Amino acid sequence: VDRADFIAGLPKAELHLHIEGSLEPEMLFALAKRNAVAIPFESVEAVRAAYEFSNLQDFLDIYYQGMSVLQTEQDFFDLTAAYLARAEADAVRHVEIFFDPQGHTERGVAFAVVIGGIARALDAARARGVTSRLIMCFLRHLDEAAAEATLDEALPYLAVIDGVGLDSSEVGHPPAKFARVFARARALGLKLVAHAGEEGPPAYVHEALDVLGVDRIDHGNRALEDAALVARLATGGMCLTVCPLSNHKLCVVDDLAAHPLRRMLDAGLVATVNSDDPAYFGGYVNANFVAVADALDLRRDEIVALARNSFAGSFLGETDKARHL
Ligand code: ADE
Ligand code: ZN
């Protein structure tokens, strides 16, 4: 079998997926119509043509604008169900989904509407054998008080929220800005993750570990600039959720052939492959595997290791992990 077929059939987990980033242009149009929300695009083709980014912020501006069509519980259900169907087609057996409640509550969409639709779709997938975890992200360009208020709003839903994360504009918003709200989330028994080292310096990765005490690092590319940090991540078995097509689209790497994934594997890091915002970056998880495996000429055993890492680095319990490993 060729490499793409091998990847397609390989059971895997996806650990870095922003559900709002799975909003395909077709659904953007359909929901804009259903909810009578104006969008500044003439056609699906015009939307796709607008997805040219020079950095993270370029993307985030369009990503937050796209969210405006998400209004009802059914919208969040449809969005999540479409992602899950697509993931299942990629042999994804377990998903850990991020959502950005502040992107919705700020627009007057209730927290209950957002979480209700997402959780209902995750329940339906569970009935088909796909397990999941839900991770609520704080927008780091907003202040810590806003994150605290978001955690307060989440308290009635902790039965369906497994962890908290940190996303949005990285540079200028170091992890330590959210020290107190992460400490409170930890005390509530939540898992902790943070985007770090996507555009930000290695010091932000250190801070995510030292100040926030994260269980996983999202991206982590720039950790490779700091040899002591690489050794620390390797020794601690810290999982990195790497997103190759995202990195390319956001100019974190100039060329996939220069992607740090091979160096991460060579350094013994628990790296995984993920799609981040697949509707914006041109591919779901298998497309990410194929693109990076082709660019770096990854061996079969390396591809298998990446898939195993996705289960090992997940928040599944030991029994469930053992089932997959
Ligand atoms: N929000 C959605 N995708 C993101 C990314 N790749 N980095 C930071 N914030 C995000
Ligand atoms: Zn991300």
8 A C-beta contact, residue 263 and residue 224: yes
Judge contact between 244 and 298, C-beta under 8 A: no
The pLDDT assigned to 1 comes to 81
Give yes or no for residue 140 CB within 6 A of ligand 1.
no
Dist. CA 310–CA 313, nearest whole Å: 5
Q: Which atom belonging to ligand 1 lies closest to the Cα atom of 198?
A: 7
The reply to whether 18 sits in an annotated binding site is: yes
Domain limits for position 254: 3-314
Assigned domain for 321 exists: no
Counted residue by residue, the chain has a size of: 325
DSSP notation for 243-278:
-HHHHHHTTSSS-GGG-THHHHHHTT-EEEE--BSH
Instruction: Look at residue 87 in the predicted model and tell me its pLDDT.
Output: 98
* Cα distance between residue 320 and residue 325, in whole Å: 9
Q: Name the DSSP class of 214.
A: -
What ipTM does the predicted assembly reach?
0.98
Q: Is 100 annotated as a binding residue?
A: no
Report yes or no on 241 lying in a domain.
Answer: yes
In a domain, 173, yes or no: yes
pTM, two decimal places: 0.98
User: Residue 20 domain-assigned?
Assistant: yes
| Residue among 22, 58, 60 to mutate when testing ligand 1 (max atoms within 8 A of CB) | 60
> What whole-number distance in Å separates Cα of residue 281 and Cα of residue 188?
34
Tens of each residue's pLDDT in the chain, 325 residues: 899 999 999 999 999 999 999 999 999 999 999 999 999 999 999 999 999 999 999 999 999 999 999 999 999 999 999 999 999 999 999 999 999 999 999 999 999 999 999 999 999 999 999 999 999 999 999 999 999 999 999 999 999 999 999 999 999 999 999 999 999 999 999 999 999 999 999 999 999 999 999 999 999 999 999 999 999 999 999 999 999 999 999 999 999 999 999 999 999 999 999 999 999 999 999 999 999 999 999 999 999 999 999 999 999 999 999 999 9
Q: Is residue 325 part of a domain?
A: no
CATH of the domain at 175: 3.20.20.140
Atom of ligand 1 at shortest distance to CA of 243? 6
